Amino acid sequence: MLNMTFHWKLSQIQERTVKKHCKMCGNISVFTDTNVQRHNANGKSIYKYAIYKCEKNHTWNKKLAIYKSFSEHVTEGEEQTEESSIMPAIPITSLTEQGVKVVHIVLDDVIGKHRIDKVLANQIEDWTRSQIMEKIEKGTIQINEQVIKPSTRLSKGKRISIFI
């Protein structure tokens, strides 16, 4: 059985919020990442957006990246640095293809309050938050070999195990 271990340091940044002017509200509002992304094709380029919502539910599409004609990946300097200050995403599908059966995540440090389902939804590519909640409830995502709840908070020194 092939195992893979990641080490995470969670900080407050994890809760992806951006303070910016909301055109609809007419003032500065706090926008929160909905964890929904969408792609828009425009001529030769494909734009990737993260959908943010203000406190009154107005949407703002944050541009994350531009893909040119399906080949090279052109990153947007400024936007990208903000994203990369967070831990790298876990490419779960490609790990599965490599024969990985269990992914362990060791929490080296945890600052602030973090629900496991939210953090995993942010960090795992290809899995939605509802898929993650289902896996937690089925017990294929555990903390320290114990079945947990989607609302379980993460803390320093614990180990998350994901049985694929």
Binding site for Zn ion (CB under 5 A): 22, 24-25, 29, 54, 56, 58
We find the least distance from the C-beta atom of residue 61 to Zn ion, in angstroms, to be 14
Residue 56 vs 73, nearer CB to Zn ion: 56
* Three state DSSP letters for 18-52: EEEEECCCCEEEEEEEEEEEEEEEECCEEEEEEEE
We find the least distance from the C-beta atom of residue 60 to Zn ion, in angstroms, to be 8
Residue 32 vs 81, nearer CB to Zn ion: 32
We find the least distance from the C-beta atom of residue 58 to Zn ion, in angstroms, to be 3
Residue 30 vs 111, nearer CB to Zn ion: 30
Distance (Å, rounded) from C-alpha 20 to C-alpha 10?
A: 24
Distance (Å, rounded) from C-alpha 155 to C-alpha 10?
A: 9
Residue 29 vs 123, nearer CB to Zn ion: 29
Structural Rg of the chain based on CA atoms: 17
We find the least distance from the C-beta atom of residue 18 to Zn ion, in angstroms, to be 12
Provide CB contacts within 8 A for 138, sequence distance 6+: none
